Structure 1
Amino acid sequence: MLISIAIVILLGLILGSFAKKVHLPPLVGFLCTGILLGPFALDLLSSDLLSISTDLREIALIIILTRAGLSLDLKDLIKVGRPAILMCFLPALIEIIGTVILAPLFLNFSIAESLLLGSIIAAVSPAVIVPRMLKLMEEGLGKNKKIPQILLAGSSVDDVFVLVLFASFLGINQGDKFTVSLLGQIPVAIILGFLGGVLTGIIIVQLFKKMAIRDSLKVLIIMSVSFLLMGVEDQLEGILSFSGMLSVISLSLTIFQFQPPIAQKLAIKFNKLWLAAEIFLFVLVGASVNITFALKAGILPILFILLVTLIRMVGVLLALLKTNLNSKEKLFCMIAYTPKATVQAAIVGIPFALGISNGEMMLTVAVLSILITAPIGAYLIDLSYQKLLTE
């Protein structure tokens, strides 16, 4: 397995650097690395590494969510109000509705399968959005109208909203009946996840105040507690709805509210961790792609992805109606909310692994959505933010 890890890192860095030189996100290079090394191409990855890929992807997700929370000021979100709340669920919900309409036509999916596919591809990517919004905050662009904060918070809660729907729709495709109580689990999971993270964050803040702990050890403590919170979600499954993802980001958000200087130092540490975590996250997703199956699928999945992406942009526009954002700023938000990558990478293999009908097509569509929307979205954000936003 050590040889596989070395190959993943070295080739990932090479192809990631190449992607960056041609103005694409490095994650495109990482995905190509996984496809190239995976069992459907050169088959150079150890089976031991592939067997723990789900756990490694979850660790990477925890790192980027923590990094986002350590830079997010809750006071800014409260000032923004309604649009920030709508961005948390409306674009994703509109995209899922679009998927339910289009997937039966383009992919011959049932309604239940379309709902599941929609919940897989509807989540926006923190891996693409977070670093770019942090850059905007550093440069002061969009600051007056809190545009980076809206997109940061929206993308985080958007992912939680979609993941709770994913769990519900996964159950439906496994034979569970859809009931109103399943929808009721969404606000319960969000509220309990948020409260759990805040309470845990307060305890950690007090610990940091009373004890002299090195920053590196603080990172280990936060990571360990985050693992426990994600584990709590698994332990409570079927008993009580609890969002581990939201608890992780609200934990780090709480640290920022009470101790901003410490949060800023820890954010730098988590940035360094993300350099390695991002490679493994996207390489392992790429390794799961069956190239032959993807080629046989033809052009229809690509057309489907483009159409639902446009539908999602309409959802963003609806969320921003009656705000003080001008047309250029709304256009930027619509562009910035299109990239898919992180959540898809974390959950894309689950339906296929469980033997869900059309699971392999869901995997193919999700990976194509990453390959299409992540580079295009990232490129358009980088190209347009100085033209569409003001200091």
Structure 2
Amino acid sequence: MLLSIALILLVGMCMSWICQKIKLPGLLGMLATGVVLGPYVLNLLDSSILGISSELRKIALIIILTRAGLGLDLSGLKKIGRSAVMMCFVPASFELLGMLLIAPKLMGITLLEAAIMGAVLAAVSPAVVVPRMVKLMEEGYGVKEGIPQLILAGASVDDVYVIVLFSTFVGMMQGKGASVISFVNIPVSIILGIAIGLLIGVLLACFFKKVHIRDTTKVLIILSISFLLVTIEDKMTTAITFSALIAIMFIGIGLQKKREVVTKRISVKYGKLWVGAEVFLFVLVGATVNIGYLGKVGIKAVLLIAGALVFRMLGVFVCLLGTSLRGKEKAFVMMAYTPKATVQAAIGGIPLSLGFACGDMVLTVAVLAIVLTAPLGAFVIDLSYKKLLDKR
């Protein structure tokens, strides 16, 4: 395992640096590192680290979501509050609708199989989007208009909505039917996540005010609480749950409102943690990509993904109607809300493991979506934000 960790960090950082030097996103180098080192090419990564890959990716996601919460300026978001709510479910619904219209005719599958494929593809990737929105907030681009805050809020909830839809469609495929309570759980889990996160953030602020400890210790406490929240959510068997990832982001927001000076210092610590976590996240996402599947897909799968993304961007445009955002700012939000990676890597193989006839096709399209949209989306964001957004 130690050799695998060394390879992930050294090769991943080296490839990231090379990509940045040739004006490409560092993410592309990290993804390529994962593909090459992973089990489908050179197979140099130890099976033990691949076995805990999902947990390591989740830790990295926790770090960047907490950092996002610590730096999130809600004042800009309040101006476009309605759009922020709509961004949580409208773009994903539009993409799913596009898949239902296109996939049966193009790929020859049933409507229910298209719904499963659409649910796998419909989630935006927080792993790609969140760090870039944090960077925009730190540099001050689009913050006054609430653009990075809008995308952050939407991306954090979008996944919850899509995963519930995926679970429902899988249940229907298995003959269990659709559960009304699972749809009721969507808004409830979001509201509970926000409430729990804010409460913990406020309590931590009071604790840090009374008990003087090092900032590093504070980071360890926040991380430990975040891990506990994710574990509790995973272990819950009740019909109504809460979203741990949303709660984790709102811990930072609650802490920020009560102890702003401390929050800024903790945010710097989290920024340093992200340097290593980012490498692990994207290298391990790359390691899940089986390039052997890509040889099986033709132009139809590419057209399917492109068509679904057009519907997604249309959904984003609908969300932004009636806002004060200019055309170029709307164009940025539409492009920034397209990358796929983490959710597709996590659930893309489930239909195949369950023995569904569409399983191989779903996994193939999911892998292709990661390969196409993660680096392309990151590249477009990095290339366009200074041109399309105003700096405060």
- The 1:362/1:285 distance shift into structure 2, 3 A limit, reads farther
Residues in 2 aligned to 1:212 and 1:91: alpha-carbon distance in whole angstroms: 45
Letter in 1 for 2:199: L
C-alpha deviation, 1:185, in angstroms:
1.5
SS at match of 2:295: helix
1:258-287 deviation per Cα after TM superposition (whole angstroms, max 9, x unaligned) = 222222222222222222222222222322
- Secondary structure, aligned partner of 1:296: coil
Q: How far apart, CA to CA, are the structure 2 residues paired with 1:357 and 1:182?
A: 25
Q: Give 1:320 shift.
A: 0.6
On the 8 A contact 2:62/2:245 being kept in 1, the answer is yes
The answer to whether the 8 A contact 1:124-1:158 is kept is yes
The whole-number CA distance in structure 1 between the counterparts of 2:357 and 2:277 is: 31
**Partner SS for 2:312:** helix
Aligned to 2:210: 210
Structure 1 residues 308-332: Cα deviation after superposition (integer angstroms, max 9, x where no partner): 1111111111001111112122112
| Rounded Cα–Cα distance in structure 2 between residues aligned with 1:348 and 1:247 | 25
1:32 matched to which residue of 2? 32
Deviations 1:90-119 (CA, angstroms, capped at 9, x unpaired): 111111221222232333443333323322
Aligned length: 391
Question: Match for 1:41: what amino acid?
Answer: V
Distance 1:47 1:381, change over 3 A: closer
Counterpart in the other structure of 1:113: 113
For the Cα contact (< 8 Å) 1:61–1:346, is it kept in 2? Answer: no
User: Structure 1 residues 47, 90: closer, same or farther in 2, change over 3 A?
Assistant: same
Q: Distance in 1 between matches of 2:343 and 2:246?
A: 13
Q: Is the 8 A contact 1:20 1:26 kept in 2?
A: yes
Change (3 A) 1:108 1:272: farther
1:178 aligns with 2:143: no
CA distance in 1, matches of 2:354, 2:270: 33
Look up the SS of the partner of 2:176 in the other structure. coil
Counterpart CA distance in 2 for 1:57 and 1:355 is: 26
Deviation of 1:4 after TM superposition, in Å, equals: 1.6
Q: Which moved more, 1:108-117 or 1:257-266?
A: 108-117
Deviates more, 1:131-140 or 1:315-324: 131-140
In the alignment, structure 2 segments of 5+ residues that lack a partner are none
Farther off after superposition, 89-98 or 103-112: 103-112
Change (3 A) 1:361 1:264: farther
Q: Structure 1 counterpart of 2:343, which letter?
A: V
Classify 1:149/1:218 alpha carbon distance in 2 versus 1 (closer, same or farther; 3 Å): same
Once the two structures are superposed, what CA deviation does each residue of 1:12-67 show, in whole Å capped at 9, x if it has no partner? 12222222223332222222222212222212221111111121122122112111
For the residue of structure 2 that corresponds to 1:114, the secondary structure is helix
Residues 95 and 309, structure 2, Cα contact 8 Å, conserved in 1: yes
The CA RMSD measured in Å over matched residues stands at 2.2
1:193–1:243 CA contact under 8 A, matched in 2: yes
Identical positions, percent? 51
Contact 1:288 1:349 in 2 (8 A): no
When normalised by structure 2's length, the TM-score is 0.92
Kindly state the Cα deviation for residue 354 of structure 1 after the two structures are TM-superposed.
Answer: 4.7
Q: Calculate the TM-score normalised by the size of structure 1.
A: 0.92
Give a deviation string over 1:340-380, Cα, whole Å, max 9, x none: 23433444444445555433433332232222222222222
Unaligned stretches of 5+ in structure 1?
Answer: none
CA separation of 1:54 and 1:131: change in aligned 2, threshold 3 A? closer
Which has the larger displacement, 162-171 or 227-236? 162-171
> 2:126 matched to 1:126?
yes
